[in-house]
Amino acid sequence: MIIRNVKVYTEDKRFVDGEIAIQDGRIESVGPSADLVTGDDTILDGEGCYALPGLIDIHFHGCKGYDFCDGTQEAIRKIAEYEASIGVTAISPATMTLPVNELEEILAVAANYRKEAKKKAIGTDVAADLVGVNMEGPFISEEKKGAQDERNIITCDSDICQRFLDASEGLVKFVGIAPERNEDASEFIRKMKDQVHISLAHTNADYDTAMAAFDAGADHAVHLYNAMPAFTHRKPGVVGAVSDSTHVNAEMICDGIHIHPSVVRATFKMLGAHRIVLISDSMRATGMPEGQYTLGGLDVNVADGRATLVSNGALAGSATNLMECMKTVVQKMGISLETAVACATMNPAKCLGIYDAYGSLTPGKKGNVVLLDKELNLKAVVKDGMRIR
């Protein structure tokens, strides 16, 4: 396939006029037409659209009525198909705080799903690639549990964590903890950090406790500002510790509901765009009519674009996909398209350790390309060199 007449997003975060050649599911070359050679004579006229890498969502729970924690091949497949259809071509879904045995079973299903997906012929799959799992629980705090079920919360345990990693066959990429709940949190981090990214998630940690966790090797923050102490001038909390720990990357839900646009802009200035990963945190109501759904076994009401627990009105994930979040960042929050694209493609790929194959339109990487018009409307999705939308 050759994608012509597009503004190609480059690794130095610019858009340049050019074309993209894809052969055998991989990007063969990028440049002016005279430089492109491919054995596939399929031509896609981009009509002046922006061409960017397929988006990567490293933290979301579900969509189209399905949840990753349903623990079935069908659920993962339906989720992956929807995500690909809206331009998210690689996914790392999140677990909820559930019983340990149940989480092991969910992770084993995901591992088997990935093995079966890899058997498919190149250029035949219309589903997003399952490239990781983000464990949001069960090592979290009751105080900041949010929409998590506190009955299943436990303290950090390296043996249990290893069971999760083994069940997933290496698919788990992030394990969230609340370090203040365990005096041995730093020991847990040092023991596990060479196998998996340790993130601070649903935590009530103060600044010193968060800094100790980051100094021990934790390097990620789950949905910054949400389910953690407020960032104030005398108590900077987790947010202040993230700011001072330059090796730490931070997720942000930019659906226009979870974080005020002014705070989003301030955070880009404070951390730098290279440390921010846009996520959707979407739940099963995404892509569905508003109404009542469930998340982690708890009832959720979705109305006016907000997903809230029926029990207490707390936010329960989002009903917005990553593509819409990226558009919101640009159109309603004043972040440049060039910056927003990096935070939804390059940065998550680097966090997952898959930047060799995903996250940029570079020869040798997977032929996943999204075309957006000037108003950022989705015009086409190419997955492994095959147009799927």
- Kindly indicate the confidence band of residue 378, based on its pLDDT and cuts at 50, 70 and 90: very high
- The verdict on whether residue 317 carries a ligand-binding annotation is yes
Asked if 151 and 193 sit in the same domain, the reply is yes
Residue bearing tokens 């996520």: 279
Asked if 289 and 171 sit in the same domain, the reply is yes
Cα–Cα distance, 387 to 89 (Å, whole number)? 12
> Average pLDDT over the chain, rounded to whole?
96
What confidence tens digit (pLDDT) does each residue in 91-116 have? 999 999 999 999 999 999 999 999 99
Number of domains making up the chain: 2
- The verdict on whether residue 223 carries a ligand-binding annotation is yes
Active site residues: 281
Asked if 101 and 223 sit in the same domain, the reply is yes
Q: Per-residue pLDDT for 216 more than 80? A: yes
- The verdict on whether residue 80 carries a ligand-binding annotation is no
Q: Per-residue pLDDT for 39 more than 90? A: no
Q: What is the pLDDT of residue 322?
A: 98
Cα–Cα distance, 374 to 48 (Å, whole number)? 8
What confidence tens digit (pLDDT) does each residue in 310-349 have? 999 999 999 999 999 999 999 999 999 999 999 999 999 9
- The verdict on whether residue 316 carries a ligand-binding annotation is yes
The CATH number of the domain holding residue 366 is 2.30.40.10
Are 148 and 164 in contact by the 8 Å Cβ rule? The answer is no
Q: What is the pLDDT of residue 79?
A: 98
Asked if 42 and 177 sit in the same domain, the reply is no
**Residue 302 class from Cβ within 10 Å (0-12 exposed, 13-18 middle, 19+ buried)?**
buried
Asked if 180 and 121 sit in the same domain, the reply is yes
For the segment 69-91, the average pLDDT, to the nearest whole number, is 98
Q: Per-residue pLDDT for 151 more than 80? A: yes
Asked if 148 and 277 sit in the same domain, the reply is yes
Eight-class DSSP state of 179: G
Q: Per-residue pLDDT for 35 more than 70? A: no
- The verdict on whether residue 296 carries a ligand-binding annotation is no
Asked if 260 and 272 sit in the same domain, the reply is yes
Q: Per-residue pLDDT for 279 more than 70? A: yes
Asked if 365 and 265 sit in the same domain, the reply is no
Q: Per-residue pLDDT for 34 more than 70? A: no
Q: What is the pLDDT of residue 182?
A: 86
Q: Which of 20-24, 36-40, 165-169, 224-228 has the lowest mean pLDDT?
A: 36-40
- Show the CA angle centred on residue 373, arms to residues 381 and 265, nearest 5°: 100
Asked if 266 and 232 sit in the same domain, the reply is yes
For the segment 48-59, the average pLDDT, to the nearest whole number, is 98
Q: What share of the chain is helix, strand, coil (3-state, %, to 5)?
A: 30, 25, 45
Residue bearing tokens 């949001």: 136
Q: What is the pLDDT of residue 37?
A: 65
Cα–Cα distance, 287 to 324 (Å, whole number)? 11
For the segment 299-305, the average pLDDT, to the nearest whole number, is 94
How remote is the C-alpha of 91 from its chain's centroid? Answer: 6
The CATH number of the domain holding residue 157 is 3.20.20.140
Q: Per-residue pLDDT for 153 more than 80? A: yes
- Domain of residue 42, residue span: 1-53+359-389
| pTM of the model as a whole | 0.97
Q: Which two tokens stand for residue 277?
A: 């990963």
- The verdict on whether residue 226 carries a ligand-binding annotation is yes
Asked if 307 and 263 sit in the same domain, the reply is yes
Asked if 18 and 98 sit in the same domain, the reply is no
Eight-class DSSP state of 32: S
Cα–Cα distance, 217 to 244 (Å, whole number)? 14
Asked if 224 and 245 sit in the same domain, the reply is yes
Share of the chain above pLDDT 70, in %: 98
Strand 26-31 vs strand 43-45: parallel, antiparallel, or unpaired? unpaired
For the segment 124-129, the average pLDDT, to the nearest whole number, is 95
